[in-house]
Amino acid sequence: MKYVLLCLLSFALVACGSKDPKPVTSPGAGAGESTSGGENVDDGRCVPDGEGYEVTEYDTSGDNTPDVRKLFKTMGEGSLARLVLICREADLNGDGRKDIVRLYTEEGRPMREEADRDFDGRIDEITHFTNGRVSLQEIDTSGNGTIDTKIFYEGGQPERAERDMRSRSTASEWRPDRWEYYADGHTVRIGTDLNGDGKVDRWDRDEERLRNSALANQRSAEASQ
């Protein structure tokens, strides 16, 4: 669980960066360009695809090299026109290549985030948002290029996880063999498929936490009546 929380926090920390980041705004700059022009060398994905966009880059590390890029789009017309953040990406390790990108809806709410956590040039974590809150994380923990862990969220909190411990999943078929359920941030129940038929063969439970969780839910329901 600590890993999940650290993953969620890291992008926000990079976005803030140093206490005095240096912004450079270029209304027509492409995502792979510096604001003075240049080639796309940082694997950037915040790319304007028409008019009405504005790109801002920040040097948050103080090395005079932009490491955070934000893409804004003009929404509305006339007096109702406003700039909305639709894409933000960052170079987390200072190697000149963008490692994480977050996409936003036209209302400015987070929609999807893709990250390369081990800096090997491949996306190994995808976070999905619903109504601006985390709803699903897909993670490649083995580094083989295939998702092997899915964490499902309810109300912004992890509720359960599915894991492919035997690496049997493909891009088109998800084949988990372990299911984990959480309560109050703790694992309370784990189901394991031992023979590979897609069904739980063994359950491991934290009975005390399950009882405490059920009691807390009962009290909450009674208090709301």
Separation in Å, CA 106 to CA 39, 64, 68, 95, 172: 28, 31, 20, 31, 29
Average pLDDT rounded to a whole number, residues 100-124:
94
Residue 184's pLDDT is what?
A: 85
Q: Could you give the angle at the alpha carbon of 214 between the alpha carbons of 211 and 220, nearest 5°?
A: 140
- Tally Cβ neighbours within 10 Å of residue 122: 11
Average pLDDT rounded to a whole number, residues 110-117:
96
Q: Encoding tokens for residue 53?
A: 């966009």
Sign of the CA dihedral with 39 first, then 44, 48, and 52 last = negative
* pLDDT, tens digit (0-9, with 9 covering 90-100), for 14-55: 444 444 444 544 444 443 333 333 344 577 889 898 889 999
Residue 225's pLDDT is what?
A: 67
Taking the alpha carbons at both ends of the chain, their separation in whole angstroms is 33
- Give the helix/strand (H/E) hosting 190: strand 186-192
- Evaluate if pTM is beyond 0.85: no
Question: Residue 113: pLDDT band by 50, 70, 90 thresholds?
Answer: very high
* pLDDT, tens digit (0-9, with 9 covering 90-100), for 179-211: 999 988 889 999 999 999 999 999 999 776 666
Which one-letter DSSP state was computed for residue 184? T
What's the CA gap between 152 and 192, in Å, rounded?
Answer: 17
For the domain spanning 124-225, the CATH number is 2.40.128
